[in-house]
Amino acid sequence: MERIWAPWRTVYIGKDHGDICIFCDKLQSDKDVENYVLYRGERVFVLLNLYPYNNGHLLIAPKRHVGDVTDLTPEELLELGLTTQKMTALLRRAFNPDGFNIGVNLGRIAGAGVPGHFHIHIVPRWGGDTNFMPVLGDVRVISEALDLTYQKLKEAMAATDM
């Protein structure tokens, strides 16, 4: 039998998170390393996805609790776009992916796991990262611990004065 080891997920499995917005909760905390908050801008912030599709999967969200793209201010939209651009460049420097999926899921029916707080996904992609595991087994193997991914990204940020 094959085993897939992802011990960092055990603190989330089966736990009732209630009505707490995960983005607002992490934003109000000062424990950025523990919460994998990578960057705080004036109107937006960036964190690692705790359930990544691939290593380096980032989430970019406005600091303001807003659920729809149509409710964002022009300033929030601009900073979201510029931060998406910066984080894509950062991921290139830190991990050298072959490409990216960048997108938004608006509403639960569209796949939003946190439909009440708008956020953008940046998912680094590599040739061959879709193999038989997700296709046949509906399982994705993430080869790097979140702590190490966070450390690599912070080091890449420091090297570029981001």
pLDDT at 130: 67
- Residue type present at position 60: I
User: How many residues are listed for the chain in this entry?
Assistant: 162
Q: Where are the domains of the chain?
A: 18-159
| Rounded distance between C-alpha atoms, residue 33 and residue 62, angstroms | 19
Nearest CA to 25 among 3, 2, 47, 55?
47
Q: Give this prediction's pTM.
A: 0.79
pLDDT at 132 over 70: no
Backbone angles phi, psi at 69, to 5 degrees: -60, -30
Q: Is 17 a catalytic residue?
A: no
Choose the catalytic residue: 17, 65, 117, 119: 119
pLDDT at 103: 94
Q: pLDDT digits over 66-123, tens only? A: 999 999 999 999 999 999 999 999 999 999 999 999 999 998 888 878 889 999 999 9
Q: Any alpha helices (H) in 29-126, and if so which ranges?
A: 32-35, 74-95
Reported as a pLDDT band with limits 50, 70 and 90, residue 18 is low
pLDDT at 44: 98
pLDDT at 133: 45
Question: CB-based contacts of 114: which residues, under 8 Å, 6+ apart?
Answer: 21, 22, 23
pLDDT at 139: 52
| Rounded distance between C-alpha atoms, residue 144 and residue 148, angstroms | 7
pLDDT at 12: 47
CATH architecture of the domain 18-159 equals 2-Layer Sandwich (3.30)
Q: pLDDT digits over 26-58, tens only? A: 999 999 999 999 999 999 999 999 888 888 999
